[in-house]
Structure 1
Amino acid sequence: MESRPLRYFVAVAEELNFTRAAEKLGIAAPPLSRAIRKLEAELDVALFERTTHSVTLTPAGVVLLDQARIALEALEAAGQRARRAADPDPKLVLAVKADNAAGVLETILAAYAADPAAEPVAIRLCGREEHPRLLREGHADAALLYEPFDHTGLDTETIATEPRVVALSTAHPLARRAQATLADLEIPGFSAEHPTDLDRCLVDQSRRSNARDLPELLAHVEFGDLMTLLPTSIAARYPRPGIAYVPVVDASPAELVVAWPQQSRSLATAALVRAALSVVG
């Protein structure tokens, strides 16, 4: 299976419209339609249900979309890693979010430097939810990040857990409490009957705020627009006069992990993972 028909298929699957997909790809609609039909013939399955008014994915199409994205990301990552390997001064790229490594980054790097397989490290600072994409696309070799995130194509090991506190405006009635529960917080969309939805609801709330980073998110908190849960180590790094941090006794702990691409065979990356685990072990 070649990459071009897969790219065409993904474009149609995402747009569910051949004309818009063709415009997105910069080609005409008829050759795009022919390419999709050829792909269906090669696979001997129907990928789309077509009517005069709509285009929908078949069950086979849903599966292929998931797998095609992984395959295309792997191809892009292979090229990116090859370009990086040709660098006369190779480095291991570690993706982290600023002030988002539970205070263990320096200790991990010190332990890593002592490993014979260690390479010089380049820290790639990134925003919320960027780490998995950087790993899958070959722009980073490893990452330190908090759960939850999309694990597709990645391996992980937990290196730290810590309690979470709620960040809320000092004008909020709960700000004077010594502790709170999730029920007290009344997080939009969250129900105690479905505790695993907590982080999804928090991520949805954060996205609706359009905050680009933690300082912007905390500004919304300070204004009283929203509240959010944070690991205690991050809260300690961001004291603000207009924000109160209150322990939430029944919130699941924050989980910091080291992540790397499943297909990685890098001895340097393996050494970094060993260093991370030795620090917390």
Structure 2
Amino acid sequence: MDLRRLRYFVAVAEERHFTRAAERLHIAQPPLSQQIQALEAELGVALFERSRRHVTLTAAGERLLERARALLREAGAAAEEVRRIGRGELGELRIAFTSSLPFSELIPRLLYDYRRRYPDVRLELRDTGTQRQLDLLLAGRLDLGFVRTDDPQLPAGLAWTELHRDPLRLVIHEAHPLAGRSEVAIAELAEEAFVMFPEDSGTGLLRQFHALCRTAGFTPHIVQEAREVSTIIGLVAAGLGLSILPAPLACIGIARVRFLALTDAAAQSIVLLATRAGPLPAAVANFVEQAATGARLGAPPTTG
């Protein structure tokens, strides 16, 4: 059955008058009568009893009126749902972030603001290393990825928006000879032992750490590995070695640990929001736009 004919039928059934129904529908009365006749012919049953003064529903018409109202409501709801999906107001987003980012001020705020603006978009969040995020994005199994890097370049097929830059800090036990300093150069750490992420963690921080040490002229001596940033800081507190981590992780606040500034200009971690390249679904585009605006308007200082 044609939805337009059902709308015409409901108007006549509710008005009980063809002329008033035609005025309500903003059409002429003869075409309305023709559409009702066509509907009756399609169904093979009379829907109205007509007289010169009255239009009343038959038993079949009464039943159709009930069903037609429900069908039109459902069709209207479906149309609005599709429009909302097209506007990015409804649906699901698969978002990943590196383990250090929830400790920053920026990412929790961006997620909170997005959920307030788009409450009907479901967020599927996962804690995943940078390299794994890039692989998932390229495979179409992830919509957005918050990644850390020292070089804002991504593989072909991906696009990115720079959100923020965090200074890296030397994480050190308070009893270490260097702990009384306000800042340290990475070159001064050539003989030190380190606690870092394992090679298979896929985190961009580990690659950047090696690059910084290589630039400073040494290969770091990693004595202990851990996958969680809180564990790394805890192992530093236990005196097992030093680490280099983004400044926001100082909020974890484990006793006997200090975060010292690094004098190396490259000792900063860039936070990118990565997506697949090309036209983006509306929900993804909305998220990127709001995140970029939120980072620009409310990001914490990028140095210091």
**2:187 equivalent in structure 1:** 183
Please give the alpha-carbon distance, in whole angstroms, between the structure 2 residues aligned to 1:125 and 1:206: 27
C-alpha distance in structure 2 between counterparts of 1:187 and 1:198, whole Å: 19
Q: Cα distance, 1:92 vs. partner? A: 0.3
Aligned partners of 1:127 and 1:213 also within 8 Å: no
- Residues 146 and 198 of structure 1: is their aligned pair in 2 closer, same or farther, counting only changes over 3 Å? closer
2:240 aligns with one of 225, 228, 235: 225
Measured after TM superposition, the shift of residue 141 of structure 1 is: 0.6
Which residue in the other structure is 2:209 paired with? 199
| SS of match in other structure, 2:134 | helix
2:141 pairs with 125, 139, 142, which one?
139
2:257 is aligned, of 235, 243, 247, to 243
Correspondence 1:146-161 to 2 at 5 A? 146-148=148-150, 151-152=154-155, 153-161=157-165
Q: 1:223 to 1:107 in 2, by over 3 A?
A: closer
Unaligned stretches of 5+ residues in structure 2: 1-89, 193-206, 214-218, 297-304
Q: Tell me the distance in 1 between the aligned counterparts of 2:117 and 2:260.
A: 40
Q: CA deviation at 1:158?
A: 0.9
Aligned residue in 1 for 2:271:
256
Matches within 5 A, 1:260-279: 260-263=275-278, 265-279=280-294
Q: Is the 8 A contact 1:127 1:212 kept in 2?
A: no
- Note if contact 2:91-2:283 (Cα within 8 Å) is conserved in structure 1: no
Identify the match of residue 214 of structure 1 among 229, 252, 255: 229
Code of the residue aligned with 2:260 in structure 1: it is V
1:167–1:179 distance in 2 versus 1, CA, 3 Å: same
| TM-score, normalised with respect to structure 2 | 0.51
The DSSP-based 3-state class of the residue aligned with 1:176 is coil
Contact preservation (8 Å) 1:118, 1:268: no
User: Residue type of the partner of 1:249?
Assistant: T
Residues matched between the structures, number: 184
Aligned-pair CA distance for 1:214 = 1.3
Map residues 31-110 of structure 1 onto 2, 5 A cutoff.
Answer: 90-101=91-102, 102-110=104-112
CA spacing shift, 1:211–1:251, aligned 2, 3 Å: farther
Q: Greater CA radius of gyration, 1 or 2? A: 2
Moved more, 252-261 or 206-215: 206-215
Give the Cα separation in 1 of the matches to 2:191 and 2:290: 37
SS at match of 1:163: strand
CA gap 1:201/1:220 in 2 versus in 1, 3 angstroms: farther
Structure 1 residues 199, 91: CA separation in 2 closer, same or farther (over 3 Å shift)?
Answer: same
CA distance in structure 2 between the aligned counterparts of 1:105 and 1:280, rounded to whole angstroms: 9
In the other structure, the counterpart of 1:173 is 177
**SS state of the match for residue 212, structure 1?**
coil
Post-superposition CA distance 1:33-64 (Å, at most 9, x none): xxxxxxxxxxxxxxxxxxxxxxxxxxxxxxxx
Structure 1 gaps, min length 5: 1-88, 189-196
Q: SS state of the match for residue 184, structure 1?
A: helix
Offset, 1:268: 1.2
Q: Is residue 117–residue 267 contact of structure 1 (8 Å, CA) maintained in 2? A: no
Query: Using the alignment, how far apart are the partners of 1:207 and 1:129 within structure 2?
Result: 21
Residues 1:126 and 2:128 are matched in the alignment: yes
Q: CA deviation at 1:111?
A: 4.1
Identity of aligned residues (%): 20
Aligned partners of 2:222, 2:136: CA distance in 1, in Å?
20
Give distance in 1, aligned partners of 2:191 and 2:135. 28
CA contact (8 A) 2:98 2:148 kept: no
Given residue 163 of structure 1, which amino acid in structure 2 is its aligned partner?
P
How far does residue 127 in structure 1 lie from its aligned partner after superposition?
4.4
**Separation (CA, whole Å) in 1 of partners of 2:120 and 2:220:** 40
**TM-score (norm. length: structure 1):** 0.55
